[in-house]
Amino acid sequence: MLKQETVILSKEAALAAAQQLGIEPNRLSKLLDISEASGKNSKGGQGLGDGQKEQVRWLAQPYSISFLSAALQDENLFFTTILAGEEDYAFYGDEGDNIRLKPATANEVSLLARDLIGAAGVQKTNTALSLSKDGLVSLTCLLDVLKRRELENLILHVVGSEPIEMSDLEDELAIARENRDIRWLTPFFLDVFDMKSPFDLKRGLSELSNMGIVKLQKNAVEVQEEMSGWLGMLSGRKSLLGISSIFYHNAALQLLSAAFLRVGDYLYCIEGGEKTTWVSIDEKQLKETVMTLIAPGENPGGLNAKEEQVMSAEPAVAVEATEPAAKPSPKFCKYCGTPLAPGGKFCRSCGKPVGK
């Protein structure tokens, strides 16, 4: 097997290199920030070694593209992109006018995720929540309000806080939409799950009230005493990791996303959609979920004539699918939180239908 080395290509020459090597770009490649070479003097694929030529193939013919973002406990941010070929993987780095491709294995990607989120030594609990989109956003807004109150009290030398009102959650949501600072929970989840307005916070709070997390009193939101410790922990120092993967399945473009939250000794996996599952997992389940997320999809097939014209006209700098993304199958039971068997129709624990 040829030794594969890190290769650096200019964005301008990337597709020219593929074309000179006889590698036709597929439909997923249009989602990367690359463009055809301008002019006839581009070196393209000239001077590349055999291992580097194979990496150009990953760039032009990815079977999935996974976007990884992390907000660490020390407030640092980390971003990378993983390209999956038919059998191999590569880290894709955007370096201004250049692209850096570094070969990797699925295990190396899962180890990176483990180290970023800090999964070593976590304790698994029976925590398993099922939330609507409104319920999830209401919960994250509440947690961000609690965090903001704590920080403000420290700065202002104040002990205690005013009651939390609906307007506080509305303000928190407005801040999240405007700033998109993924070190805070609400903008992090909005980003990972690409959640759009409108959000019904009243409906979401009612859902949290029915779950025994909060108590509603007119316009005030009171945290239930037995849940105050858990919510206080979630609003404290934490590590966040999000992975969103784009691939083709049954000839349809699919989007699969999951978020991971490490706080204290616990690690949670949150899978979004109209119904969100929030479950406690261990290090082994983290590895399994990450490897599922980054796995290659079906062969996307070549570009059609219309797509080729779009690529020739301008590079695709935004990761927005031009086809509707099909809804992925859930990985955890929305009723009891048990991991689901791939392709299963019923939960092996509670027996209820999986649904989507």
pLDDT of residue 187: 96
Identify whether the C-beta of residue 238 lies closer than 8 Å to the C-beta of residue 247.
Answer: no
The pLDDT score that the predictor gives to residue 345 is 44
What distance in Å separates the CA atoms of residue 144 and residue 167, rounded to the nearest whole number?
A: 13
The residue ranges of the chain whose pLDDT is under 70 are 1-4, 33-52, 273, 303-356
Q: Give pLDDT, residue 35.
A: 55
Give per-residue pLDDT as tens, 136-157. Answer: 999 999 999 999 999 999 999 9
pLDDT for the residue numbered 54: 72
The CA distance from 63 to 92, in Å, is 14
Q: Where exactly are the structural domains of the chain?
A: 7-123+239-313, 128-234
What's the confidence (pLDDT) of residue 86? 86
Residue 8 has a pLDDT of 82
At residue 327, the pLDDT reads: 42
Q: Is the peptide bond before 315 cis (omega within 30 degrees of 0)?
A: no
pLDDT at 11: 76
The pLDDT score that the predictor gives to residue 44 is: 53
In the structure encoding, which two tokens stand for residue 131, read together?
Answer: 């939330």
Residues 6 or more apart in contact with residue 256 via CB below 8 angstroms: 244, 245, 247, 293, 328
pLDDT of residue 32: 82
